[in-house]
């Protein structure tokens, strides 16, 4: 099926990148290249965009969408956690702006065969990179009850995680849980009737949790942001779009730590730890979609954009 994805917070993200025509920009989650295309439109012949994605479908779609900018675009397949090494292999050691648009793409949700959605019956997969071995089926059918409970509770913030984990394990004693439809049925039966329709589809949180586990999404994010800030040139910006509270909390905390890394006790008259700020948080509160955007793209509703600008300690402010 055709790769389609509506870019969320497009105008706000492009504005906050402060694009210089001759700058170097990195889209670490290239997807359908909606954000990347707008970056390219603002680049001169001396500018450069490097797009990274682990999904083969996204790579193919982005190559087609950015064909008219091929002289200034490099597209790489991989996870953004390896950004520093991937850029170095291309002779790039710093960037003027980096963008992450996290979460699952519209294409991945709409293509039932990818196994991301509870709205269709398909094999349990949920891999953003189909080259990896771990799938949703592996998680559902091999993790112990305690492991499943922890994943669903922590990554899905699901209050009925214990019931769901227990019932998954009971069902798979009879036969493996093979499809998204089977899993959704187990989840639905694990949640009391009065709670099922609160907060959307009853399987929503558990599917999110399993997807995060399969793709190591929070671990990758937490391990990558410091490195991305270090990759920025003076005045460069890192823009991150998140779609749930777990991601947003990680971004907020890491941005705050890079703005104020001092670990001295609060009663010390002067800083002695020697840790200096790497820049400042541009967005004191996250930027959220307008009512008009939410109306035209329901999936944008939970999006939040946070922005960090790299500045040396001496030049801050």
Residues 36-61, mean pLDDT to the nearest whole number: 97
C-beta separation of 59 from 75 below 8 A: yes
Query: Measured between alpha carbons, how far is 238 from 307 in angstroms, rounded to an integer?
Result: 6
Q: Is the pLDDT score of 317 beyond 60? A: no
Q: What is the pLDDT of residues 239-248, one digit of tens each?
A: 999 999 999 9
Domain 114-215 has CATH 1.10.150.170: yes
pLDDT at 4: 54
Tell me the domain boundaries of the chain: 10-107+217-315, 114-215
C-beta separation of 80 from 217 below 8 A: no
The rounded percent of the chain whose pLDDT value lies above 70 is: 97
Query: Measured between alpha carbons, how far is 138 from 215 in angstroms, rounded to an integer?
Result: 12
Query: Class of the 10-107+217-315 domain?
Result: alpha beta
Query: Measured between alpha carbons, how far is 118 from 128 in angstroms, rounded to an integer?
Result: 16
Two tokens, residue 11 = 């105008």
Q: What is the pLDDT of residues 261-272, one digit of tens each?
A: 988 898 888 888
C-beta separation of 8 from 34 below 8 A: no
Averaged pLDDT score across all residues of the chain: 94
**pTM of the predicted protein model:** 0.93
Query: Measured between alpha carbons, how far is 176 from 155 in angstroms, rounded to an integer?
Result: 23
pLDDT at 228: 98
pLDDT at 232: 98
Q: Is the pLDDT score of 50 beyond 50? A: yes
pLDDT at 314: 56
> 307 forms bridges with which residues in the sheet?
239
């Amino acid at each position: 099926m055709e790769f389609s994805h509506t870019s969320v917070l497009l105008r706000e993200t492009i504005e906050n990148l402060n694009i210089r025509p001759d700058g170097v920009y990195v889209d670490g989650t290239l997807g359908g290249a909606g954000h990347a295309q707008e970056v390219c439109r603002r680049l001169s012949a001396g500018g450069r965009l490097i797009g990274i994605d682990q999904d083969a479908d996204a790579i193919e779609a982005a190559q087609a969408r950015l064909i008219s900018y091929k002289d200034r675009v490099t597209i790489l397949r991989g996870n953004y956690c390896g950004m520093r090494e991937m850029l170095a292999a291309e002779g790039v050691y710093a960037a003027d702006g980096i963008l992450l648009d996290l979460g699952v793409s519209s294409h991945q949700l709409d293509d039932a065969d990818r196994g991301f959605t509870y709205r269709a019956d398909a094999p349990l997969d949920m891999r953003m990179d189909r080259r990896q071995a771990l799938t949703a089926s592996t998680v559902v059918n091999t993790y112990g009850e305690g492991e499943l409970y922890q994943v669903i509770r922590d990554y899905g913030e699901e209050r009925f995680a214990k019931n769901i984990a227990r019932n998954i394990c009971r069902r798979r004693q009879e036969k493996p849980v093979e499809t998204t439809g089977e899993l959704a049925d187990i989840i639905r039966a694990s949640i009391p009737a009065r709670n099922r329709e609160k907060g959307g589809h009853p399987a929503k949180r558990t599917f999110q949790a399993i997807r995060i586990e399969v793709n190591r999404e929070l671990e990758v994010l937490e391990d990558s942001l410091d490195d991305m800030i270090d990759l920025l040139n003076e005045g460069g910006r890192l823009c991150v779009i998140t779609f749930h509270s777990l991601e947003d909390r990680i971004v907020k905390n890491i941005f705050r730590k890079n703005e104020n890394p001092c670990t001295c006790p609060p009663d010390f008259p002067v800083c002695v730890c020697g840790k200096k700020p790497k820049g400042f948080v541009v967005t004191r509160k996250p930027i959220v979609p307008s009512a008009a955007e939410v109306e035209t793209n329901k999936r944008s509703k939970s999006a939040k954009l946070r922005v960090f600008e790299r500045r040396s300690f001496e030049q801050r402010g």
